Structure 1
Amino acid sequence: MPVADSAGNWVDRWAPPAWRPYLRLSRADRPIGTWLLLLPCWWGVGLAMIADRPRLVDLWIVIACGFGSVVMRGAGCTWNDITDRDFDGAVARTASRPLPSGQVTTLGALVWLGLQCAVGLALLLTLKTGAIWLGVASLALVGIYPFAKRFTWWPQVFLGLAFNWGALLAFVAHGGTLHPAAILLYAAGICWTLFYDTIYAHQDTEDDALIGIKSTARLFGDDSPRWLAGFAAGAVMLLAAAASSAGPDGVLARLAVTVAVAGFALHLAWQLSRFDPRDSRGLLRLFRSNRDAGLVAALFLAVAGLV
């Protein structure tokens, strides 16, 4: 049985029927979350190349982060659905997910979670020691996030802390050490997550209010456009500060950094101009469009590092 808000995807069309509930549990039918986990990793690689120099290992970091984002985003979604299975059953948009609909048992979900984490660990162990320890530390954030909406109006902060950890990990995987530029990049990613996930959360404000789920969308209400503008401005300024702190060398590198920041800023501004909290389909389109915003920044940060 397809998930209500994700019908007609590749999982429904091509995956073997026995695999489909587990792939849906990992949100393989909705790759936007994988992109949003992966892109800060690629930002981190690009920034590390600017701060240091391109290295052959960067190609493997890019590939490993790609596969790692698939399995660890899947593991995170599986864990989220295990902890939220009762809440999901009470929300129209999520009631058809594999656990609340009975397509997967809790034990089956736990086994699937373990398999995905094992693959993620195997990939992590190919990186530098500092990156390995950062990857292990990220599990605490992943574990806490599903519970955040029960005790704070700012669960999007916890999502941002978890989803952008890859910016730090990838930077350290390049050279073995952290740099202030990487911290600024991490902060930029957190602001970006607050921006796009507040847009996403506006789809569920009515159901969330009924079952007592907290979110920034409910907290901000009619003031959301002002808050979104603030998060967008913070993300852009911190991204610019991170790139500048890395010290791009040469006219072409500085030009590429400028394009990265300007392209990212223009995309967020475009999203703001089209934000309508009453249009659920429009909200989902805006949320998904953040893949393109992040790709623009990743591409031109990489160019800056290479030139």
Structure 2
Amino acid sequence: MQSDVSTPQAMSTVADAPRGNWVDRLAPPATRPWLRLSRADRPIGTWLLLLPCWWGTGLAMMADRPLWVDLWVVIACAIGSVVMRGAGCTWNDITDRDIDGSVARTRSRPLPSGQVTLRGTFIWLGAQLAIGALILFTMNAAAIALGVASLALVAVYPFAKRFTWWPQVFLGLAFNWGVLVAFAAHGGSLHPAPVLAYAAGILWTLFYDTIYAHQDAEDDALIGVKSTARLFGKDSPRWLLGFAAGAVVLLAAAVAATRPSVLQAVIGTAGIAGFALHLSWQLRRFDPGDSPALLRLFRSNRDAGLIVAGALFLAGLA
């Protein structure tokens, strides 16, 4: 896997990466294009993939009881989210290499800018998938089957914006699948609680990724790429409110489905209320014409998801 790290393109940051990120500051120059392919310079995507997994673990603890295996599930999901998010981003860049070259925010990515070769990118994809498989195979059979099934969603997602105005739904289907995997990894079966949380996560993804997609709405219109941001246009605030409300209601239903004790119900409800307040805060600051603010709001969803995860873990231990 060779990359021309001597060029200015290879040495500079990607346009939409946070300034001063660890890849730009600390990673050896030869590794930077590969780490950028995996979005290691932008950890928010890893968080958004990981948090539903932690929701699933917390719900399993509430529905059953805490088990020692849960500690490994929490760690395994963290490692797996890093490599599988990286694999998903690498696959996305392979499929979108021509589109990315036409969009101001993405043309500096390693593949369209020529920092890496297509062959090398496929090899990097395979390496990440292999690590993800090793992590997955430490879990029980139900979790393994669900994890393998998720690959179909990951494979389809990059193409969704070519045939539907709702590609964010496909992202939600893929990014929140971990709630099912993690719940199954606890006891080997599923339950209404993770299914409800999965539906909540899909609506949450529609919320935060519509905010994100507004950054590219003008470029997407020029090249014919579809998104909910373009579909909703000026009606986006109303749609975002609906997605937020639906996510909150479904999360509350997921907690109720575990048949919690009074203390568990109080802790879970407090977490969901915090989540609702965070989404409300984002809605009040939503401005489709302010790209830097849109990116900040999108990244703030790490904190929104952590509020829920923390509450579910505490409730599960109560």
TM-score for both structures, normalised by structure 1: 0.99
* Structure 1 residue 54 displacement after superposition: 0.4
1:224 partner letter:
S
The aligned residue for residue 270 of structure 2 is 259
1:279 to 284, 287, 290: 290
Distance 2:156 2:35 in 1: 23
**Where do 1:161-240 residues align within 5 Å?**
161-240=173-252
* Structure 1 residue 182 displacement after superposition: 1.0
Identical counterparts, % of pairs = 75
The aligned residue for residue 45 of structure 1 is 57
1:289 partner letter:
S
1:88 to 69, 77, 100: 100
The aligned residue for residue 20 of structure 2 is 8
Does the alignment pair 1:288 with 2:299?
yes
* Structure 1 residue 255 displacement after superposition: 1.2
1:213 partner letter:
V
**Where do 1:50-89 residues align within 5 Å?**
50-89=62-101
Does the alignment pair 1:297 with 2:308?
yes
1:2 partner letter:
T
Distance 2:283 2:15 in 1: 27
1:180 partner letter:
P
SS of 1:18's equivalent?
helix
Return 5+ residue gaps in structure 2 as ranges.
Answer: 1-11
Q: 1:237-264 CA distances to partner (integer Å, 9 max, x unpaired)?
A: 0000001011112x32111111111011
2:284 partner letter:
S
Distance 1:110 1:70 in 2: 18
**Where do 1:111-122 residues align within 5 Å?**
111-122=123-134
Does the alignment pair 1:30 with 2:42?
yes
The aligned residue for residue 6 of structure 2 is none
Distance 1:246 1:221 in 2: 38
Does the alignment pair 1:159 with 2:178?
no
Return 5+ residue gaps in structure 1 as ranges.
Answer: none
* Structure 1 residue 210 displacement after superposition: 0.3
Distance 2:13 2:268 in 1: 42
Whether the 8 Å contact between 2:37 and 2:110 is mirrored in structure 1 is yes
Q: 1:198-221 CA distances to partner (integer Å, 9 max, x unpaired)?
A: 000000000000000000000000
Distance 1:296 1:192 in 2: 14
1:60 partner letter:
W
Q: 1:149-181 CA distances to partner (integer Å, 9 max, x unpaired)?
A: 000000000000000000000000001000011
Distance 1:115 1:192 in 2: 30
The aligned residue for residue 149 of structure 1 is 161
* Structure 1 residue 34 displacement after superposition: 0.2
Instruction: State the 4+ residue runs in structure 1 displaced beyond 6 angstroms.
Output: none
* Structure 1 residue 8 displacement after superposition: 2.3
Aligned residues between the structures: 306
1:152 partner letter:
T
Distance 2:148 2:64 in 1: 25
Distance 1:33 1:125 in 2: 23
2:317 partner letter:
L
Distance 1:138 1:223 in 2: 32
Whether the 8 Å contact between 2:255 and 2:265 is mirrored in structure 1 is no
Distance 1:25 1:183 in 2: 32
TM-score for both structures, normalised by structure 2: 0.96
* Structure 1 residue 229 displacement after superposition: 0.1
